[in-house]
Homo-oligomer: A and B are copies of this chain.
Amino acid sequence: MRSDAKKNYDQLLEVARKVIAEQGVNASLRDVARQAGVGIGTLYRHFPTREALLETLLGASFDQVTNQAAAYESSKTSDRALASWLRDMVALTYDHRGVIAAMTAAIEDEQSALHGACVLLKASGARLLAKAQAEGRARADIDGTDLLALVSALAWLNDQPPFAARVDRLFGLIAGAIMIPSA
């Protein structure tokens, strides 16, 4: 990448990070380009889709949760590992209003730039769930998609002003419904 291009690229990312933190994932891309002092075409050149921009912004965080899940597997009991993953997932979406809907859509859209990272994320949770189920610490009648649905629902609640303050309590209620208390 030419150095002038690199400069624009970095500037776009910096501004996008700020704007998306403030206005959510559906913020105006035109506005991002404007604030970055760059033509709108330059934004599209570097990030052909909104998902591509999000992937660049958040991909590392996604991967970190995926990797963390693997680490939990060897460092925690299966039920605690699962609970930690759930917590990490909610935290991942915490500061990015609307990202959970984008992730949900990406799971089904193989063309999405977010698809890969989201599929790995889902698989990392499914693995922890399976282990907890094998040890009788999680109810057996749900699968990885159900688990993802439940965390996604919590993440969505967190985006809704009237409900955001109760997410911690509701997290407990839902985690409690997934887990089986030890005898």
Contact = CB atoms under 8 A, between A and B. Distances in A.
A140 to B, nearest CB: 12
A166 B145 contact: yes
Interface stretch (A66-74, A128-136, A157-165): A157-165
A107 B150 CA distance: 23
Contact of A146 (B139, B152, B169): B169
B169 A145 contact: no
Interface of A is mostly: helix
Contacts of A161: 108
Interface residues of A, number: 29
A166 B146 CA distance: 7
A152 B145 contact: no
Given A101-B160, A139-B173, 18 more contacts: A104-B163, A141-B169, A142-B169, A142-B173, A145-B162, A146-B166, A148-B162, A149-B163, A149-B170, A150-B170, A150-B173, A152-B157, A152-B163, A153-B153, A153-B156, A153-B170, A173-B178, A177-B177
Interface of A: 101, 104, 107-108, 139, 141-142, 145-146, 148-150, 152-154, 156-157, 160-163, 166, 169-170, 173-174, 176-178
